[in-house]
């Protein structure tokens, strides 16, 4: 828990009635929360509010009352009547809206090009242009990424308000201009660096980290470091966020946590597993190919998610049926008959088959019981066989019983496979 | 926009510092928002707050001040010191905590079984047990799904508070018991049914729906229907939520919207595309197989995501390299040399190859330029060739230029392919 008074606080307000019916997930709040935290703010509240003027006004007042120095809003900048953010922020800042003619001309240019492309034009478009160019007096405008400008609004005696558009691509695209705008840049200069440390483990129970933290806490004062442990499927992430002045405490704690659980440590710098796998494969000069049964393409889909992945991903086969395992990856039908489709033997044959058919250096085989049906006493739901084989004869095999629903089991299986690929590509012992 | 006064309002408070550093996305808020909206509440606010007592207390007060009749909290029920929700809700309700001995025994049983399995036991466990059995006086406890009980807390003259655990599986597992608890069940009886309608379109621009709504709005009074249009990649969802008394207006509007854009309508009942594809494939008696280049397994991964998918998914090949396209799916090397790997011809060959190799009734081929590199003037980034072929000779081909980033293009490609499979499996014209 963070003690009050240490860091400047910030609040985030995301608007849109569709966020409150569950029709759409808010992608801006978490993105902004990470940006602000990484820049050293303590994020006090993240509010989602509908497109209702009173609710929006109350949300701004509530966040301001929580003693924040910064409010970032997302959404509600569009041309329609229920896009209220600019008007409500102006009221909150105690100012009025005036037409920014330079912005009007700028938006007009965007809309003209759009109209030429789509064939849509007329008075509705002109009204939209004018509404979007009405800005709070004295605000610093941010050029549109789509058609709506953003804003940095100073409020006498109150928090700075940064107003950003709702579409995530526009919001993220406008962010660099926002942090360079003079009032926001001045505030950022006063924020002490986050100096956060992030450690990621694989296969380590949360209770082990909790016990280690208790033990270290009995010897050292850790109260000025906010410690968050967060279990994401098979990975455990430990975030350390020091109060200003406690940076060296966090750094020493990170060192100790890394060395105490070195066997399970994936990264002490917060590097993602996907990034580590890509680096290891590129360094090894090998390509990878998959033969997937229960994960049905999810693993190869994740591997090719990274730009540039064609340099180290040869491909994959999702072979759900026994016939497909035999026809596409050469798994002997007799082997399936003898050991069952879910067996270490078939996982090995899937790995070898994928490696050979794709001409890859590393092959991965996955076959398991994802449920909800099909479990037996010997092979219960969650039983998954993994095998990674390489062209120099390394064989890494695992057959755990993974917990959770069908979706959980498939996602965890992909996690496990990623870590086995990392092991094989790094040349670690099986 | 929803006019005030129509529906009982509800607020959601999700706790956890990890939600405010962006380390983890809140999955409970959107789930609860949909549940409450579908049960007829207007969700006023969704707040994410850190594990800080003052912030949590202020959040509860703020939501109560917004005139809600119900507050649902998620998280902060664990055994550690920063799990504060029960204590803060008790304070909010003006009551104190008392030990619930029956609950203590119940949690004790759960912990004993856990300790036997994991080998972890001792005084820390007993303290956790006791803390989790301290409940607000007079509250209705909800049996744990994990180890933490939930609560329904009545506050004199204030909103009802439903307290749920943070892990999504526990929260969703406890929900049926929550809505059956007497105080919540009594409140729910007073809430008018949502009577919401949801229409989903594919390939329809948002501006078309906006124009139609404007035109209908000029003839009819639609003010008592909250209309949300929400673009999710290639699909456009229109949600209609009537105020009590305006159900027939919403129903008539749904009919009109369905018939006005019938060509692009996917579902007038909110059925998901995945569900429609599964139903159509099962009804057709055909299996589907994929040959994927730029989507690299994402399509087959999505197809097998549904339980029971082995009945209609034969499998798929992610063939990134030209060699793999030839070796695994029989795409002639000469064809690739002549037309390029991204071409309608190769898409067709991928579809036919997948269908034949997997012995499937329907084959899907996808090849495109997902970026960020590799675009040319003739085949820019976003150019994707699709082909669906069936064993009775149907050929459906498309080659659009899709907008967005690498991730967007790949996700949209999967959407497009799903709709083409739906078309082929339903026997619609190419």
3-state secondary structure chain B: CCCCCCCCEEEEEEECHHHCCCCCCCCHHHHHHHHHHHCCCEEEEEEEECCCHHHHHHHHHHHHHCCCCEEEEECCCCCCCCCCHHHHHHHHCCCCEEECHHHHHHHHHHHHHHHHHHCCCCHHHHHHHHHHCEEECCCEEECCCCCCCEEEECCCCCCEEEEECCCHHHHHHHHHHHHHCHHHHHHHHHCCCCCCEEEEEECCCHHHHHHHHHHHHHHCCCCCEEEEEEEECCEEEEEEEECCCCHHHHHHHHHHHHHHCHHHEEECCCCCHHHHHHHHHHHHCCCEEEEECCCCCHHHHHHCCCCCHHHCEEEEEEECCHHHHHHHHCCCHHHHHHHCCCCHHHHHHHHHHHHHHHCCCEEEEEEECCCCCCCCCCCCCCEEEEEEEECCCCEEEECCECCCCHHHHHHHHHHHHHHHHHHHHCCCCC
Look at residues A337, A51, A292, A415 and name the one whose alpha carbon lies nearest to residue B298: A292
**SS3 call for A202:** strand
Q: What are the Cα distances from residue A136, in Å, to A154, A368, B151?
A: 10, 59, 45
DSSP A267: E
**SS3 call for A200:** strand
What residues contact B116, with CB distance under 8 A and at least 6 apart?
none
Contact A148, A170 (CB under 8 A): yes
Contact B19, A33 (CB under 8 A): yes
Task: Specify whether the backbone of B296 is left (phi greater than 0), alpha (psi in -120 to 50) or beta.
Answer: left
Instruction: Tell me the pLDDT of chain B averaged across its residues.
Output: 91
Q: What are the Cα distances from residue A408, in Å, to A27, A382, B305?
A: 22, 9, 11
Chain A residue with Cα closest to B26: A30
In whole angstroms, give the CA distance from residue B125 to residue B305: 38
String of DSSP letters for A379-406: S-TTBEEEEEEETTS-EEEE--B--S-H
What is the nearest CA distance from B336 to chain A, expressed in angstroms?
17
pLDDT of residue B4: 45
Task: Using CB atoms, pick whichever of A2, A80, A328 lies closest to residue B317.
Answer: A328
What is the nearest CA distance from B202 to chain A, expressed in angstroms?
17
Please list every residue in chain B whose beta carbon sits closer than 8 Å to the beta carbon of residue A207. 118, 120
Contact B92, B155 (CB under 8 A): yes
In whole angstroms, give the CA distance from residue B186 to residue B180: 9
**SS3 call for A254:** helix
Q: What are the Cα distances from residue B283, in Å, to A50, A421, B277?
A: 41, 39, 10
pLDDT band at B379 (very low <50, low <70, confident <90, very high): very high
DSSP A18: G
Please judge whether A321 and B314 are an interchain contact, meaning their C-beta atoms are less than 8 angstroms apart: yes
In whole angstroms, give the CA distance from residue B209 to residue A28: 25
pLDDT of residue A408: 85
Contact A295, A366 (CB under 8 A): yes
Instruction: Strand B197-202: give its sheet, edge to edge.
Output: B225-232, B235-242, B197-202, B265-267
Look at residues B149, B153, B181 and name the one whose alpha carbon lies nearest to residue B164: B149
Q: What percent of chain B has pLDDT over 90?
A: 70
Please judge whether A304 and B320 are an interchain contact, meaning their C-beta atoms are less than 8 angstroms apart: yes
Token reading at A286: 């090998």
Domain with CATH 3.40.980.10 in chain B: 9-190
Please list every residue in chain A whose beta carbon sits closer than 8 Å to the beta carbon of residue B324. 314-315, 357-359
B414 CB burial (10 A radius; 0-12, 13-18, 19+): buried
Token reading at B67: 């005139």
Per-residue pLDDT of chain A (430 residues; tens, 9 = 90+): 334 457 899 999 999 888 898 878 899 999 999 999 999 999 999 999 988 899 999 999 999 999 999 999 999 998 777 789 999 999 999 999 999 999 999 998 988 887 776 666 666 677 778 888 999 999 999 999 988 899 999 988 889 999 999 988 899 999 999 999 999 999 999 999 999 999 999 988 777 888 889 889 899 899 899 888 887 777 888 999 999 999 999 999 999 999 999 999 999 988 889 999 999 999 999 999 999 999 989 999 999 888 889 899 999 999 988 999 999 999 999 999 999 999 999 999 999 999 999 999 999 999 999 888 888 999 999 999 999 999 999 999 999 999 888 888 999 999 999 999 999 999 887 7
What is the nearest CA distance from A395 to chain B, expressed in angstroms?
23
pLDDT of residue A120: 63
User: Has residue B97 got a pLDDT over 90?
Assistant: yes
> Pairing state of beta strands B70-74 and B160-164?
parallel
For the stretch B320-369, pLDDT in tens is 889 999 999 999 999 999 999 999 999 999 999 999 999 999 999 999 99
pLDDT of residue B374: 84
Q: What are the Cα distances from residue B365, in Å, to A357, B288, B345?
A: 19, 11, 10
A interface mutation test: which of B118, B315, B372, B408 has the most A CBs within 10 A? Answer: B315
Task: Using CB atoms, pick whichever of B25, B50, B318 lies closest to residue A300.
Answer: B318
pLDDT of residue B233: 74
Domain with CATH 3.90.950.20 in chain B: 273-425
Token reading at B345: 């011809």
In whole angstroms, give the CA distance from residue B70 to residue B11: 6
Instruction: Strand B395-398: give its sheet, edge to edge.
Output: A395-398, A384-390, A362-368, A288-292, A313-319, B313-319, B288-292, B362-368, B384-390, B395-398
**SS3 call for A229:** strand
C-beta atoms surrounding B113 within 10 Å:
10
pLDDT band at B169 (very low <50, low <70, confident <90, very high): confident
DSSP A372: S
Task: Using CB atoms, pick whichever of A4, A54, A207 lies closest to residue B120.
Answer: A207
In whole angstroms, give the CA distance from residue A163 to residue A178: 9
A335 CB burial (10 A radius; 0-12, 13-18, 19+): middle
pLDDT of residue B1: 36
DSSP A164: E
Mean pLDDT of B159-174: 94
Alpha-carbon torsion angle B15, B16, B19, B20, nearest 10 = 90
Computed over its alpha carbons, how large is the radius of gyration of chain B?
A: 27
In whole angstroms, give the CA distance from residue A134 to residue B75: 41
For the stretch B29-61, pLDDT in tens is 999 999 999 999 999 999 999 888 999 999 999
Token reading at B68: 């809600």
Chain A residue with Cα closest to B25: A30
In whole angstroms, give the CA distance from residue B213 to residue A216: 63
For the stretch B214-232, pLDDT in tens is 889 899 899 899 888 887 7
Q: What percent of chain B has pLDDT over 70?
A: 97
> Crossing angle of helices A344-358/B322-329, nearest 10°?
120
For the stretch B256-310, pLDDT in tens is 999 999 999 999 988 889 999 999 999 999 999 999 999 989 999 999 888 889 8
What residues contact B316, with CB distance under 8 A and at least 6 apart?
A296, A297, A317, A318, B289, B290, B291, B292, B297, B299, B300, B303, B354, B358
Look at residues B229, B361, B223 and name the one whose alpha carbon lies nearest to residue B284: B361
Task: Using CB atoms, pick whichever of A66, A297, A359 lies closest to residue B318.
Answer: A297
In whole angstroms, give the CA distance from residue A93 to residue A95: 6
ipTM: 0.82
CB-side neighbour CA atoms (13 Å) of B172: 12
Chain B residue with Cα closest to A299: B297
Contact A46, A14 (CB under 8 A): yes
Please judge whether B230 and A324 are an interchain contact, meaning their C-beta atoms are less than 8 angstroms apart: no
What residues contact A183, with CB distance under 8 A and at least 6 apart?
A140, A152, A154, A160
Q: Which CATH architecture has domain B273-425?
A: Alpha-Beta Complex (3.90)
Please judge whether B317 and A317 are an interchain contact, meaning their C-beta atoms are less than 8 angstroms apart: yes
Contacts 24+ apart (CB under 8 A), B405-408: B405/A169, B405/B371, B405/B372, B406/A307, B406/B370, B406/B371, B406/B372, B407/A305, B408/B233
Task: Using CB atoms, pick whichever of A21, A29, A371 lies closest to residue B37.
Answer: A21
Class at the top of the CATH hierarchy for domain A9-190: alpha beta
Q: Which residue has the tokens 């399970």?
A: A264
What is the nearest CA distance from A25 to chain B, expressed in angstroms?
6
Please judge whether B324 and A313 are an interchain contact, meaning their C-beta atoms are less than 8 angstroms apart: no
Contact B208, B163 (CB under 8 A): no
Token reading at B1: 């926009």
pLDDT band at B121 (very low <50, low <70, confident <90, very high): low
Look at residues B385, B304, B303 and name the one whose alpha carbon lies nearest to residue B351: B385
Class at the top of the CATH hierarchy for domain A197-267: alpha beta
**SS3 call for A179:** helix
> Pairing state of beta strands A150-153 and A160-164?
antiparallel
In whole angstroms, give the CA distance from residue A359 to residue B324: 8
Q: Which residue has the higher pLDDT, B427 or B356?
A: B356
């Amino acid at each position: 828990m963070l003690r009050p008074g240490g860091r400047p606080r910030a609040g985030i307000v995301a608007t849109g009635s569709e966020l409150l019916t569950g029709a759409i997930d808010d992608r801006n709040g978490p993105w902004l929360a990470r940006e602000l935290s990484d820049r050293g703010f303590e994020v006090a509240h993240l509010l989602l509010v509908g497109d209702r003027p009173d609710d929006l006004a109350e949300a701004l007042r509530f966040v301001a009352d929580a003693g924040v120095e910064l409010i970032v809003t997302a959404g509600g900048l569009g041309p329609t009547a229920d896009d209220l953010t600019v008007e409500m922020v102006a009221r909150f800042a105690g100012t009025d809206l005036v037409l920014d003619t330079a912005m009007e001309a700028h938006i007009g240019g965007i809309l003209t090009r759009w109209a030429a492309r789509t064939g849509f034009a007329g008075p509705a478009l002109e009204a939209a242009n004018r509404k979007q160019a009405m800005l709070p007096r004295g605000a610093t405008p941010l050029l549109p990424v789509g058609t709506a400008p953003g804003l940095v609004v100073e409020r006498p005696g109150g928090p700075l308000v940064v107003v950003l558009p709702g579409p995530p691509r526009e919001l993220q695209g406008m962010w660099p201009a926002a942090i360079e705008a003079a009032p926001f840049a001045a505030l950022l200069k006063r924020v002490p660096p986050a100096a956060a440390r992030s450690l990621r483990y694989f296969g380590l129970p949360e209770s082990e980290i909790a016990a280690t933290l208790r033990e270290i806490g009995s010897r050292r004062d850790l109260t000025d470091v906010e410690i968050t442990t967060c279990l994401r499927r098979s990975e455990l992430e430990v975030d350390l966020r020091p109060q200003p002045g406690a940076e060296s405490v966090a750094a020493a704690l990170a060192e100790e946590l890394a060395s105490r659980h070195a066997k399970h440590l994936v990264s002490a710098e917060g590097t993602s597993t996907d990034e580590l796998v890509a680096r290891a494969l590129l360094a090894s000069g090998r390509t990878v190919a998959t033969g997937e049964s229960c994960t049905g393409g999810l693993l190869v889909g994740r591997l090719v998610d990274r730009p540039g992945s064609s340099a180290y991903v040869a491909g994959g086969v999702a072979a759900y049926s026994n016939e497909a395992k035999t026809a596409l990856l050469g798994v002997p039908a007799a082997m399936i008959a003898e050991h069952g489709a879910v067996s270490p033997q078939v996982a090995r044959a899937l790995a070898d088959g994928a490696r050979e058919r794709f001409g890859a250096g590393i092959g991965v085989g996955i076959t398991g019981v994802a449920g909800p049906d099909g479990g037996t006493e010997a092979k219960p739901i969650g039983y998954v066989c993994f095998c990674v084989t390489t062209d120099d004869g390394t064989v890494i095999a695992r057959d755990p019983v993974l917990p959770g629903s069908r979706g959980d089991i498939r996602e965890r299986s992909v996690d496990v496979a990623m870590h086995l690929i990392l092991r094989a590509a790094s040349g670690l012992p099986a």
